[in-house]
Amino acid sequence: MNYYGESVAKLIEHLSRLPGIGGKSAQRLAFHIINMPKEEAEALAESITKAKNEVKYCSVCCNLTDSDPCAVCSSAKRRRDTIMVVENPRDMAAYEKTKGYDGLYHILHGAIAMTKGIGPEDIKIRELVNRLDESVKEVIIATNPTVEGDVTAVYISKLLKPLGIKVTRIANGVPVGSDLEYIDEVTLSRALEGRSEM
């Protein structure tokens, strides 16, 4: 039964289709939007439309951008001999926040997941291979530590090794501030394998 009228019901329906937004959250957001000043609601709608119309893939790294190439690829301060491969733009943003990496990126927009029908041709692997030249000395694979991320990492590694480029994988291990007794076996094994000299 529609308690709020057609317009509100449609807004709730569309909001509930967003990832991580359930029915109650969609309802809360809808009422928040309706109670916003008209100018703010219009600015929100305009920013959604503008982002949808203007954001595209960077022709170099496949990052989402409104300028091509993106700010990272066009920066003169970035090292050109290292490319970090990540699954999505959020992963790239996480590494940028650390301020510990000054190379370039390549965004795959997913990971190989054959059970879901996602193969190597469905993500941006071909674009990665096409941008590799003699200036690239290392490719750091920073896919997520999941089955899909590991499959993707192995696939890319096997693809790039014959090109003579150094391929590395980020270490996986124990989160800071956690107790070892609560860490799963796979994480502990990876932490042990990825140990470094002190």
Return per-residue pLDDT of the chain as tens, 198 residues. 567 788 999 999 999 999 999 999 999 999 999 999 999 999 999 999 999 999 999 999 999 999 999 999 999 999 999 999 999 999 999 899 888 899 999 999 999 999 999 999 999 999 999 999 999 999 999 998 888 999 999 999 999 999 999 999 988 776 767 776 777 777 777 777 776 554
Question: Rounded distance, CA 164 to CA 170, Å?
Answer: 19
Site of tokens 């960077």:
58
Q: What stretches of the chain adopt beta strand conformation (E)?
A: 56-57, 64-65, 82-86, 104-107, 138-141, 166-169
Q: How many residues does the chain have?
A: 198
Q: What are phi and psi of 166, to 5 degrees?
A: -65, 125
Ranges of each domain in the chain = 7-54, 64-174+184-193
How far apart are alpha carbons 185 and 174 in whole angstroms? Answer: 11
The pTM assigned to this predicted structure is 0.80
Number of CB atoms found within 10 A of residue 183's CB: 14
Of 101, 106, 108, nearest to 152 by C-alpha is 108
DSSP lists the bridge partners of residue 109 as none
The predicted structure's pLDDT at residue 100: 86
pLDDT value, residue 197: 59
Specify whether the CB–CB gap between 80 and 61 falls below 8 A: no
Question: Encoding tokens for residue 192?
Answer: 């042990």
Instruction: Note the CATH number of domain 64-174+184-193.
Output: 3.40.1360.10
The CATH homologous superfamily of the domain defined by 7-54: RecR Domain 1 (1.10.8.420)
Whether the CB-CB separation of 51 and 75 falls below 8 Å is answered with no
What are the C-alpha distances in Å from 55 to residues 47, 59, 60, 107, 175? 11, 12, 15, 15, 34
Q: Rg of the chain over CA atoms, in angstroms?
A: 21
